[in-house]
Structure 1
Amino acid sequence: MPERPFLSVGRLFRAILILALLLVYVSCDATGPKPFESEVVVESYQIAGEPAAPVRLTQSIPIDSTYDINDVAVRGADVRIEKLGEGGEVEGTIPYTSDPDSAGFYRPSTAIDGSIPTIEPLGTYRLRVVTEAGAQIRAETTVPDTFSIVSASRDTATYRADEEIAFRITSSRTPGRDQAFYIFSTESLDPRKENLVPLVADFLEQSENSVLSDFVITSSPVLNEAGYTQNADGTLTLRLPWVVVTFYGPNRTRINVLDENMYDFIRSQTAQQGGGGFTPGSIPNVLEVVEGGAGIFGSMASVRREMYVARP
């Protein structure tokens, strides 16, 4: 089953992005609810060592409005991503063109030979957008270094009967940070209802708002140093939590190292939901790095491995 990286990564983080934006617009502070102002929402996740990924642009709407991608898609924008040098100078530009088949999506233009530029590990990239209305949006990301899976404790495991699958990986370096932050995601390769694990099957049966496709891709909380083991040879050992396994059968697991933008966005969104240990009235706003708009322009390094989850 071929993988389409942007779709997998996009589905993983889109729910986080939407929820975070809702929290921004309905959050209260000492002056009361924040007045709604429509702005351009950016969504783009660049992956180290892979071709430049699409950029999605939409216009935010009031929380009580009906969402229709054809109504909120930003069309006719000038979109480009610049590769920056150590001094901030522009070393190269990746122009983007609007996708006529996907409203709001902009894809990198191909070179004469049909290739798409590759995102360099440890490189710094700047997104520039100018809309037809004249809005100017800018954001930067520094890409984490690539890493690899050295070994896995097993490729087949019995759900919750065996120990969690342990992955030994090489370390990844993120400029300006002492430690790397990892997040697991798991995608079912055979997402049929009869393959759901009991906990998720029961939840889906009782839920009025959830559908089967909501559970095809799931993710773990962010793992910091306390969530993995540093080995004497410099490698790290991470254990896949069973909570991210929602289907029996074949699954594809990704281990992702987050850049500063994605890490800040996710942890501040968690705090908005009450998971950050802040006292009432001191919960910070969602951290965003998009100048002139909202959303996320981030990057990550990623590795993947297929595994089989057997019924107990």
Structure 2
Amino acid sequence: MNRLLQLLTLAAFVMLAVPACSPERGVSDLIEAETEDAVVVDAILIVDAPLPTVLVTRTVSPLAEFTQQAIAERSANIVIRREDGLAVTYQETSGSPGEYAPAGPQAPPVLPSTRYDITVTTADGRTVTGTTRTPPRFRIAQWLLLEDDAETARRQFQTFNDLGTAVYDHPDNQVVYNDGLLEARYPDEDLQFQVGILNLEEDSPLVVNPDFFSDEDLLDLERVLSSPPLLGDEGSLRLPWLAIYYEGRTLLRIHSIDENWYDLIRSTPGLDGSGGGLAFGGNAGENFERPLFRLEGGIGIFGSGSVDSVGFRILPPE
């Protein structure tokens, strides 16, 4: 998945100015002046995946040149500790500046329902710490296409566990746009979610009616979208058709997320569904003075999630 802090890195962390008369608060409105030269940590742990890379950068003045080289935090010491005592040290990669990867030949997998702590010590002696407790392993019990009555199941989708990438060509996974309702059913638990929708085609045509959009809006329609934070305590999630713009192979991911991830996206414009080109849907209905960063000594995110996904092909209306 794309890093959650992409929007923050490009907007808030370079402190872009927003006109004082603007009726909408942008990300940069929420980041106060004292966050200039703050250490930014970005790491998301996904259950059953290897421990991830960690990106460490600094916020910079809006007058400074904004490049990955300019914001990268070099020569930091990073350790992630698991609640059972396992400690994994990190080393700088030869790839993106400011990126660190677990040392050793193979990173251990992320365990469900487990506490992880991160300590980042910069070359000039600053320390950033954070804690996440990973969610339980999350699996969708049924991916369904419902009739318009929202109760009758028309059919159940084939999954990646069943067919791998062949799901996109299976008859059960051919979906006519706006015909029926898309629903995911899971064990009835009190969970927090973020949904991601990815159109995997490069140039497939629009499936929505272009008359609903201005020419400018049509240029902004994304092939990768994320939902606002969602509370799922009823055992099902329904995907709105308005979140799908294009024909072709579509990947739907549902992340069960920890408090750190949830707090960041519900408190940050553009990540909360209020705009910015990254999100669809409404926001959490809360008014925050600044993003909620659950880190000590810095800003950013050290969070975790567990994900399940399904693939299908969107067909144009008949």
The verdict on a shared fold, with TM-score over 0.5 as the criterion, is yes
Q: Please report how far the alpha carbon of residue 297 of structure 1 lies from its aligned counterpart in structure 2 after TM superposition.
A: 0.8
Q: Give matches, 1:63-102, under 5 Å.
A: 63-85=62-84, 91-102=85-96
Counterpart in the other structure of 2:175: 157
- Structure 1 match to 2:167: none
- State, as a whole percentage, how many aligned pairs show the same letter: 26
Q: Secondary structure at the match of 2:292?
A: coil
Distance 1:46 1:288 in 2: 16
Q: CA deviation at 1:60?
A: 0.4
- Aligned mates of 2:193, 2:30 — CA distance in 1: 28
User: Residue 195 of structure 1 aligns with which residue?
Assistant: 205
**Partner residue in 2 for 1:15:** 7
Q: Which runs of no fewer than 5 residues in structure 1 stay unpaired?
A: 1-7, 86-90, 173-178, 231-235
Check conservation: 1:272, 1:286, Cα contact below 8 A.
Answer: no
The aligned residue for residue 252 of structure 1 is: 251
Distance 1:220 1:25 in 2: 21
Q: How many residues align?
A: 270
Structure 2 segments unaligned to the other structure (5+ residues): 16-25, 146-172, 276-282
Following TM superposition, by how much is the alpha carbon of 1:304 offset from its aligned partner in structure 2, in angstroms? 0.9
Q: Using the TM superposition, give the Cα deviation of residue 258 of structure 1 relative to its aligned residue in structure 2, in angstroms.
A: 1.1
Residue type at the aligned position of 1:77: A
Identify the residue that residue 170 of structure 2 maps to in structure 1: none
Aligned pair in 2 of structure 1 residues 60, 144: CA closer, same or farther (>3 Å)? same
How far apart in 2 are the matches of 1:204 and 1:79?
Answer: 47
**How far has the Cα of 1:294 moved from its partner?**
0.7
1:169 alignment partner in structure 2: 186
Q: Please tell me the residue identity of whatever aligns with 2:7.
A: A
Q: More deviation in 297-306 or 197-206?
A: 197-206
Q: Any residues of structure 2 matched to 1:168-247 within 5 Å, and which?
A: 168-171=185-188, 179-192=190-203, 194-198=204-208, 205-206=215-216, 215-225=222-232, 230=234, 236-247=235-246
TM-score by structure 2 length?
0.75
* 1:273 to 1:69, Cα distance in 2 relative to 1, 3 A: same
Distance 1:187 1:136 in 2: 36
Shift of 1:183: 1.6
Distance 1:153 1:24, change over 3 A: closer
The DSSP-based 3-state class of the residue aligned with 1:165 is strand
One-letter amino acid of the structure 2 residue matched with residue 311 of structure 1: P
User: Which residue of 116, 121, 126 maps to 2:117?
Assistant: 126
CA pair 199-285 structure 1, distance change in 2 beyond 3 A: farther
Q: Tell me whether 1:304 sits opposite 2:309 in the alignment.
A: yes
* Cα drift, residue 47 of structure 1: 0.5
Q: Which amino acid is 1:285 matched to?
A: R
- The residue number in structure 2 matching 1:285 is 290
SS of corresponding position for 1:71: helix
CA, structure 1 residues 18+276, in 2 after alignment: closer, same or farther (shift >3 Å)? farther
